[in-house]
Amino acid sequence: MGRPPLAVGTHGAIRFTKLTKGYRAKARFRGYDGVIRDISRSGSSKVKAERELKLAISQELQTPGGGDITAKTRFREVAEHWLASQERRVADGQRATGTLDNYRSMLNNHVLPALGELRLHEVTVPRLDRFFPAVRVKSSAAHARTARAVVSGVLRYAARHGAITANPVREIEPIEGGTRKKSRALTPEERRAWLAQLELDPKAAGKDLPDLTRFMMATGVRIGEALALYWEDVHLDAGTVFVGWTVVRVRGEGLRRTDPKSASGERLLTLPSWALDMLRQRRKVAEAENRPPDSPVFPDTYGGLRDPSNTRRALREARGSDGFAWVTSHVFRKTAATILDEAGLTARVIADQLGHSRPSLTQDVYMGRGATSPDAAAALESVL
């Protein structure tokens, strides 16, 4: 009866040959393609030679199938393929442009300098277990978590193409620490003082910061959503605005209106009366300047889309370094959520107002979809 064949992914008996210095360990192994191959490694002793041989076999067996990507492909090359797949997802509307930019930045600034020249079989659990904490120390826990997501995405892509049998990132402990700093809301007195400070600042007033602040507190929208609002989205007679876009800067293209982060980001919001009065005044100015319906409500100096990053910088300059040094654009969103919560509205209603798909996110981050309840507008009457 003949000898049974080697099972796929296993090796046969290890044989040793005495060398002038040390030993050579040799064995046959059967790859995932079914082909039986000979392999040998040397070492100063039998134990070391055997260890080197088993490591080599293990590395060879990390490539379950053929293809352009194998366990010996450099991480940098696979990262390029993965990033191209993410670009296709952006083109298909499955991924936000800002997310792609974050991934690209993380790859270029942190991941590729550390892992780019490694072969896939060299991107091991111990090596990653040193890399992610190093990113956390150098930058932040949030950056380390983003790095983990990027590396995991690249290695998952490699696994799908048969280059490795498993994603080693799965074996890494969760990255703890660096919890989100709880956002603070403006009190009624602080709201009045903040607006007064902006009105008295010619530079801030010239950049429309008082009205922009009012609109964000009246709606709870994100700054990119506020800057993406066109006059055709404003319905003064009905007292509503449609929020269905956000402004992002696309590499190589400049500023662009894009879809919101999720389907829940598209919503019809009812405005409090004081916000409607403000928009009516702005509409008169826009009509006097012959601005068309498909133009921004809060434009830049040339009447076009306004950069959210530049607007955040203007807010930082306007807030100064004293009493309002903690104020960011997100504070206005938190302020609106806090007022709605204090008015007794449900987490679901507040989540719809803010454009969250999950009320739990609203409760976890802001308290402390579709057309929203008019009760939200009634509650926001008290903002000013």
HEC-encoded secondary structure of the chain: CCCCCCCCCEECCCEEEECCCCEEEEEEEECCCCCEEEEEEEECCHHHHHHHHHHHHHHHCCCCCCCCCCCCCEHHHHHHHHHHHHHHHHHCCCCCHHHHHHHHHHHHHHHHHHHCCCEHHHCCHHHHHHHHHHHHHHCCHHHHHHHHHHHHHHHHHHHHCCCCCCCHHHHCCCCCCCCCCCCCCCCHHHHHHHHHHHHHCHHHHHCCHHHHHHHHHHHCCCHHHHHCCEHHHEECCCCEEEECCEEEEECCCEEEEECCCCHHHCEEEECCHHHHHHHHHHHHHHHHCCCCCCCECCCCCCCCCCCHHHHHHHHHHHHCCCCCCCCCHHHHHHHHHHHHHHCCCCHHHHHHHHCCCCHHHHHHHHCCCEECCHHHHHHHCCCC
The verdict on 102 and 149 lying in the same domain is yes
pLDDT number for residue 50: 93
Output 97 or 355, whichever has higher pLDDT: 355
Mean pLDDT of the chain: 86
Rounded CA separation 257/248 (Å) = 7
Banded pLDDT at 186 (limits 50, 70, 90): very high
pLDDT number for residue 360: 56
pLDDT in tens, 233-244: 999 999 999 999
The verdict on 109 and 248 lying in the same domain is no
Out of 2-6, 204-208, 328-332, pick the least confident.
2-6
Is 118 within 8 Å of 133 (Cβ atoms)? no
The verdict on 131 and 199 lying in the same domain is no
Residues 6+ apart with CB under 8 A from 89: 95
The verdict on 334 and 195 lying in the same domain is yes
The verdict on 135 and 207 lying in the same domain is no
pLDDT in tens, 319-375: 988 889 999 999 999 999 999 988 888 888 888 888 877 665 555 555 544 445 667
Q: Is residue 359 part of a domain?
A: yes
Q: Token pair of 52, please?
A: 């080197």
Q: Is residue 289 part of a domain?
A: yes
Banded pLDDT at 108 (limits 50, 70, 90): very high
pLDDT number for residue 326: 92
Out of 61-75, 101-115, 136-150, 321-335, pick the least confident.
61-75
User: Number of structural domains, the chain?
Assistant: 3
Banded pLDDT at 65 (limits 50, 70, 90): very low
Is 35 within 8 Å of 61 (Cβ atoms)? no
The verdict on 230 and 362 lying in the same domain is yes
Rounded CA separation 50/235 (Å) = 77
* Of 241, 345, 341, residue with least CA distance to 297: 241
The verdict on 159 and 299 lying in the same domain is no
CA dihedral for 98, 100, 105, 110, sign (positive or negative): positive
Query: Average pLDDT in the 191-198 region?
Result: 94
Q: Is residue 68 part of a domain?
A: no
Q: Is residue 24 part of a domain?
A: yes
Q: Is residue 178 part of a domain?
A: no
CB count within 10 Å of CB 187 equals: 11
The verdict on 145 and 87 lying in the same domain is yes
Rounded CA separation 191/195 (Å) = 6
Q: Please state, in angstroms and as integers, the Cα–Cα distance from residue 241 to each residue in 25, 127, 278, following that order.
A: 75, 51, 13
Rounded CA separation 39/335 (Å) = 67
pLDDT number for residue 366: 57
The verdict on 248 and 340 lying in the same domain is yes
The CATH number covering residue 155 comes to: 1.10.150.130
pLDDT in tens, 11-48: 889 999 999 889 999 999 887 667 888 999 999 999 99
The verdict on 222 and 345 lying in the same domain is yes
Question: Which residue range forms the structural domain that includes residue 148?
Answer: 75-171
pLDDT in tens, 267-319: 999 999 999 999 999 999 999 999 999 999 999 988 999 999 999 999 999 99
The verdict on 167 and 209 lying in the same domain is no
Q: Is the pLDDT of residue 152 over 90?
A: yes
Q: Is residue 299 part of a domain?
A: yes
pTM of the model: 0.63
Q: Is residue 177 part of a domain?
A: no
The CATH number covering residue 367 comes to: 1.10.443.10
The verdict on 212 and 304 lying in the same domain is yes
Q: Token pair of 4, please?
A: 């049974």
Domain endpoint, select from 120, 143, 171: 171
Banded pLDDT at 161 (limits 50, 70, 90): confident
Q: Is the pLDDT of residue 377 over 80?
A: no
Q: Is residue 181 part of a domain?
A: no
Is 96 within 8 Å of 90 (Cβ atoms)? yes
Output 172 or 91, whichever has higher pLDDT: 172
Residues 6+ apart with CB under 8 A from 334: 183, 184, 185, 366
The single-letter code of the amino acid at 308 is: P
